[in-house]
Chains A and B, each alone.
Chain A
Amino acid sequence: GENVEQHPSTLSVQEGDSAVIKCTYSDSASNYFPWYKQELGKRPQLIIDIRSNVGEKKDQRIAVTLNKTAKHFSLHITETQPEDSAVYFCAASLPGSSYKLIFGSGTRLLVRP
C-alpha cells in the first residue's frame, strides 16, 4: 500500500524566513497531494493541494511543488509569521480514489518572533 514519509519532524525558523517541508510517497499511481495545518487540539485545515497534472501551485505565501518522477512533493512557506506555527501534514491519495488519504508523520513548525 501507499506509504508517505515526511521530513523534518520539527522545524524552527526565524520570523520572516522561509520554511520547507518535504514528503515522499511510494505509489506512483497516487494523483492528489494535499497539505493540512493542524493547531493544537484542532481539526486539520487544508492549506493547499496539488494534483498530478500540475508541477507547482502557489497561494500567496504558500507554494507546493510536485516531482512525479522522483515521487516527492514539498511545501514552501515564505515570509513566515508566528501564526504559521503549527503541525503540518502532507498526504497522498490512494489510487482509485482522490478521497482516501494516507498521511505523513507531520512536521512541527515553530516560527520564532
Chain B
Amino acid sequence: GAVVSQHPSRVICKSGTSVKIECRSLDFQATTMFWYRQFPKKSLMLMATSNEGSKATYEQGVEKDKFLINHASLTLSTLTVTSAHPEDSSFYICSAPSTTGGWETQYFGPGTRLLVL
C-alpha cells in the first residue's frame, strides 16, 4: 500500500523560532498533499492543500504567512511554522492521495508533535 512519512516525529522549540516539517510519499507520486492540525482529543482540521508547482490553497482562518507550505517535488511537501508561539503547539499530520489499488484513497503520515515553549 501507499506509504507517507513525516519528519521529525516530534520537535520542541523556543517561542519565536521557525520549525520545518517534511511530508514525503515514499512509493508513489503526489501532486497534491494536505496538511491537518489536530488538538488533543479533537478532530483533524484541514489547514491547507499543497500543490506541486503552484501555490498552496489555505482554508479559511489559516494564516498563510504563519504556515508556509512548499511542494518542492512530486514526493515532498514541507510545512514551516514561522515565529512559533505556544498556541501553535499541536499535532500536525499530512496526507497524500493515491490510486493504489484502483481507487483514490487518502493516506496519512505518522504526524509531527510540535511543542513550543
A binding-site residues for B, Cβ under 8 Å: 1, 32, 34, 36, 41-46, 49, 89, 98-106, 108
User: Contact at A43–B109, with CB atoms within 8 Å?
Assistant: yes
User: Contact at A104–B43, with CB atoms within 8 Å?
Assistant: yes
User: Contact at B93–A98, with CB atoms within 8 Å?
Assistant: no
Say how far B86's CB is from chain A's closest CB, in angstroms. Answer: 20
B116 at the interface (CB under 8 A from A): no
Number of A-B contacts (CB under 8 A): 49
B binding-site residues for A, Cβ under 8 Å: 32, 34, 41-46, 49, 60, 93, 97, 103-111, 113
Q: For the complex, give the distance between the alpha carbons of A105 and B43 in Å.
A: 5
Interface of B is mostly: strand
Q: For the complex, give the distance between the alpha carbons of A39 and B44 in Å.
A: 14
For B44, give the chain A residue with the smallest CB separation.
A103
Say how far B55's CB is from chain A's closest CB, in angstroms. Answer: 16
User: Contact at B46–A102, with CB atoms within 8 Å?
Assistant: yes
